């Protein structure tokens, strides 16, 4: 199978004529990272049969269990074959550079996602081979990167409550949160009209380009947007399916499910308030800084750290004291995580973030950083920032002017100070939390650093 420059395999099954342009071909203003498909018709049954062999190369690695020899166990709840143990000379480290990789958690989560998505692909392709672009796009989006922080906090919330490190169902349940994140990102990119995600075309732009390349009837932009809504909805359905069928006991899933559902409601509420801010902020009497913090809490802080921790804990039957401690630790850490994201949205390096420089300024994001800047600027500068933030046609010069205003306001330094204070609050709460597993406590400490000092 051919690979793209990212190392991921794209385009499955190869024989289905979905009309993708050649790899690297420019479509509109986007460089579409797709392979060429062979123009040969295949039946739905044949496509269905091929799907099992059509997974990305990155899905072929095993999930490693701990142990002195670093034994490899190639298994997840969504693999039909029996576990296979392989002897390896790779030692099992007690510490790794990125805490998400501790105990090979990222690999185990990615494997669970690959296996689950592969099974769902077979269902879709059995319906019609014309769903191949959906399969390719979903798999590429889900397995093509991401910080996996939500899965990590869920898993270590499980471990902190005494959950077994050898329970694949806990990894699968944690992986379900990554499907929820993928759903939210697909919809978020559409709402923000973002062209890229992780350096590649966003889902709606990808299908818009496909429509253009095929010369289909109708409006390409409307087609891309409508398809992105369907893809995001599909991922939301799948997150529920994976969580409910993770392999954990039913009573464990029932304990955590109400909070899992509440988390999804909170994300929607936070997203709506985020969209409302640029549209109707002037009608709201609440101070802008307070409104920005409300958005942070519900769109990001609870959803990224607090709820995943609590869900993992409830899956392991955590006592009420630990569930409360996870809130005391997770909420300030989640807010600090989002504040770092706000800074990166204005000052981040595109080569690292995968997003254009100053993207939040182009999209008109009314973040806490912007609220702080507006409050500190003089009347004329504050009005200029308000009038031009997210304005149509905002060019690179305009972005630089807005960035300069934000910098001169002193808001970045105040946000950095806020991040440091929130990090300290989180670590104080972590130290007092009744966590059963010392490894979990240590990894959560390192995840705190990773979430607050990141560059992407």
CATH number at residue 325: 1.10.600.10
Q: What is the pLDDT of residue 282?
A: 59
Rounded to an integer, what distance in angstroms lies between the CA atom of residue 42 and that of residue 317? 49
50: nearest Cα among 65, 66, 37: 37
Instruction: Give domain status of residue 200, yes or no.
Output: no
- Asked if residue 319 is part of any domain, the answer here is yes
Q: Is residue 391 part of a domain?
A: yes
421 to 297, 333, 373, 427: CA distances (angstroms): 16, 10, 19, 10
Per DSSP, the residues of 348-411 read --HHHHSS-TTHHHHHT---HHHHHHHHHS-HHHHHHHHHHTT-TT--HHHHHHHHHHHHHTTH
- So what's the pLDDT on residue 307? 98
Helix (H) and strand (E) counts for the chain?
18, 7
> Model's pTM, two decimal places?
0.79
For 455, other C-beta atoms within 10 Å of its C-beta total 9
Alpha helices of 245-287 — where are they, by DSSP H?
250-280
For 172-229, where are the E strands, in sequence order?
A: 196-197, 200-201
- Read off the tokens for 109: 């989560």
| 195 within domain boundaries | no
* Residue 295 bridge partners (DSSP): none
Count CB-CB contacts under 10 A for residue 437.
Answer: 18
Inside any domain, residue 262: yes
Q: Total domain count for the chain?
A: 1
The pLDDT of residue 103: 80
Is 219 a member of any domain? no
- C-alpha 263: how far from chain center: 15
Residue 34 lies in a domain: no
Domain range enclosing 435: 251-456
pLDDT tens digits for the chain (456 residues)?
A: 333 323 332 232 222 223 333 222 323 333 333 332 323 333 433 433 433 343 334 454 333 333 332 322 323 333 333 332 222 222 333 344 688 888 899 999 999 999 999 999 999 999 999 999 999 999 999 988 888 999 999 999 999 999 999 999 999 999 999 999 999 999 999 998 889 888 789 999 999 999 999 999 999 999 999 999 999 999 999 999 999 999 999 999 999 999 999 999 999 999 999 988 888 865 667 888 899 999 999 999 999 999 999 999 999 999 999 999 999 999 999 999 999 999 999 998 888 877 777 888 998 889 999 999 999 999 999 999 999 998 888 999 999 999 999 999 999 999 999 999 999 999 999 999 999 899 999 999 999 999 998 776
- List Cβ neighbours of 155 (8 Å cut-off, separation of 6 or more): 105, 109, 170, 171, 174, 312
Residue 225 located in a structural domain: no
């Amino acid at each position: 199978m051919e690979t793209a420059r990212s190392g991921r395999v794209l385009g499955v099954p190869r024989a289905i004529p979905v009309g993708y342009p050649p790899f690297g071909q420019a479509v509109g203003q986007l460089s579409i990272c797709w392979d060429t498909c062979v123009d040969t018709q295949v039946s739905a049954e044949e496509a269905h049969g091929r799907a099992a062999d059509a997974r990305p190369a990155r899905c072929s690695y095993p999930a490693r269990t701990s142990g002195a020899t670093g034994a490899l166990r190639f298994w997840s709840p969504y693999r039909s074959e029996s576990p296979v143990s392989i002897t390896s000379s790779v030692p099992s480290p007690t510490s790794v550079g990125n805490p998400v990789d501790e105990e090979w958690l990222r690999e185990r989560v990615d494997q669970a996602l690959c296996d689950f998505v592969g099974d769902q692909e077979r269902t879709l392709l059995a319906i019609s081979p014309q769903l191949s672009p959906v399969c390719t796009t979903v798999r590429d989006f889900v397995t093509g990167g991401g910080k996996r922080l939500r899965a990590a906090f869920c898993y270590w919330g499980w471990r902190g409550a005494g959950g077994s490190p050898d329970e694949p169902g806990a990894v699968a349940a944690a992986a379900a949160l990554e499907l929820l994140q993928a759903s939210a990102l697909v919809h978020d990119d559409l709402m923000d009209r973002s062209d890229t995600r992780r350096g590649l075309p966003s889902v709606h732009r990808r299908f818009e380009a496909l429509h253009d390349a095929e010369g289909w009837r109708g409006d390409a932009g409307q087609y891309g947007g409508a398809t992105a809504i369907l893809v995001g909805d599909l991922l939301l359905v799948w997150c529920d399916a994976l969580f409910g069928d993770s392999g954990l006991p039913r009573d464990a899933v029932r304990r955590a499910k109400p909070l899992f559902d509440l988390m999804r409601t909170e994300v929607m509420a936070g997203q709506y308030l985020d969209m409302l801010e640029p549209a109707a902020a002037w009608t709201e009497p609440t101070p802008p800084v307070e409104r920005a913090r409300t958005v942070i809490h519900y769109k990001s802080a609870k959803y990224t750290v607090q709820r995943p921790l609590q869900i993992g804990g409830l899956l392991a039957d955590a006592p009420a004291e630990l569930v409360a401690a996870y809130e005391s630790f997770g909420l300030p850490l989640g807010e600090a995580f989002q504040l770092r994201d706000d800074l990166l949205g204005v000052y981040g390096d595109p080569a690292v973030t995968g997003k254009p420089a100053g993207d939040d300024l182009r999209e008109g994001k009314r973040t806490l950083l912007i609220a702080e800047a507006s409050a500190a600027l003089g009347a004329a500068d504050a009005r200029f920032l308000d009038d031009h933030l997210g304005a149509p046609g905002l060019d690179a010069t305009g972005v630089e002017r807005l960035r300069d205003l934000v910098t001169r306001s002193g808001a970045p330094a105040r946000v950095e100070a806020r991040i440091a204070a929130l990090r300290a609050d989180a670590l104080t709460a972590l130290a007092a939390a009744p966590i059963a597993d010392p490894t979990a406590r240590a990894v959560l400490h390192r995840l705190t650093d990773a979430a607050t000092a990141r560059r992407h």
